Amino acid sequence: DVKVTQSSRYLVKRTGEKVFLECVQDMDHENMFWYRQDPGLGLRLIYFSYDVKMKEKGDIPEGYSVSREKKERFSLILESASTNQTSMYLCASSAPTRAYNEQFFGPGTRLTVL
Amino acid sequence: AQSVTQPDIHITVSEGASLELRCNYSYGATPYLFWYVQSPGQGLQLLLKYFSGDTLVQGIKGFEAEFKRSQSSFNLRKPSVHWSDAAEYFCAVAGSSNTGKLIFGQGTTLQVKP
C-alpha cells in the first residue's frame, strides 16, 4: 500500500521560531510537493522537487524554504514562523514526469503559530 | 494560464439523492483532469482522472465524471449519495509544463442530510 507520511498531525509554534515539517514517501517517486490549504483558497503550491537536491518555487514560496537530501524525504522549513503561516500543510508525491500521473497525499500537518 | 473554478463552495444534499459537483477549467490544449476527495482530518484521495479516450470516466466509491470540451467542464456525479460522502471535493488540472504539477480549484464542501 502506497504511503506518504508527515511527521506531525498537529503542531503549535511561536512567532519567530524555526519550524521543520517532514514528509516521507515509500513509493520511490521522483516528484514531491508541498502545498498550503486554506478555506476558500483550495491548495496552493509552495515548492516542489523533481529530484534529489532539486527544487523549484511554486506559487507562494515567500517565507518558506525546502530541503531534499534523499529521494524519499522532502522537508518544508519556515525560517521564522509568523501568524499568517497558520494553515494546513499537505505533502504529495508522484511518479516521474507525466502530466496525467496522480499525486499521492499525506494526511496533512495543521500548524498553528501563536 | 491554466485555472480551475469550482462555482459551488458548499452543497447540501439529502442521503439517497443524486449529486453533481461542477468544475470548469481554462486550458489551451487537451487537459488532464482530476477529482480528489478529502474526508475530515485526512489527506486527499484520488476519485478519478481523465487524460484521453472515453469522455465519461468511472471512479471509486460510485463516482463518475464527464469531460465536455465544448463547455470546458469536468463535472463529478453520483446517482445516490451516502452519508459517508460528506467531505471536501477538489477538481484539478495538470499544468502545461509537464512537470507533474497540478492546479487545484477552491474546493466544494458536501454536506449530507439524513
In whole angstroms, what is the distance from residue A108 CA to residue B45 CA? 12
Q: Which of B36, B101, B106 sits opposite A45 (nearest CB)?
A: B101
For chain B, the average pLDDT equals: 92
Q: Do B43 and A106 touch (CB under 8 A)?
A: yes
Beta-carbon contacts below 8 Å between A and B: 64
The answer on pLDDT for A2 being more than 90 is no
Task: Tell me the pLDDT band of B98, cut-offs 50, 70 and 90.
Answer: low
Q: Do B105 and A101 touch (CB under 8 A)?
A: no
Task: Tell me the pLDDT band of A75, cut-offs 50, 70 and 90.
Answer: very high
**C-alpha pair distances (Å), A36 with each of A110, B46, B80, B103:** 10, 18, 32, 13
Share of chain A above pLDDT 70, in %: 95
The answer on pLDDT for A102 being more than 90 is no
Instruction: Report the pLDDT value the prediction gives residue A98, as an integer from 0 to 100.
Output: 62
CB-CB neighbors (< 8 A) of A45 in chain B: 101
In whole angstroms, what is the distance from residue B38 CA to residue A15 CA? 29
Q: Do B43 and A40 touch (CB under 8 A)?
A: no
C-alpha grid cell, residue A35: 502545498
pLDDT tens, position by position, B10-54: 999 999 999 999 999 997 777 889 999 999 888 899 999 998 888
In whole angstroms, what is the distance from residue B36 CA to residue B89 CA? 6
User: Is A99 part of the contact surface with chain B (CB cutoff 8 Å)?
Assistant: yes
Q: Do B94 and A108 touch (CB under 8 A)?
A: no
Instruction: Report the pLDDT value the prediction gives residue A100, as an integer from 0 to 100.
Output: 67
Instruction: Report the pLDDT value the prediction gives residue B52, as an integer from 0 to 100.
Output: 81
Share of chain B above pLDDT 70, in %: 95
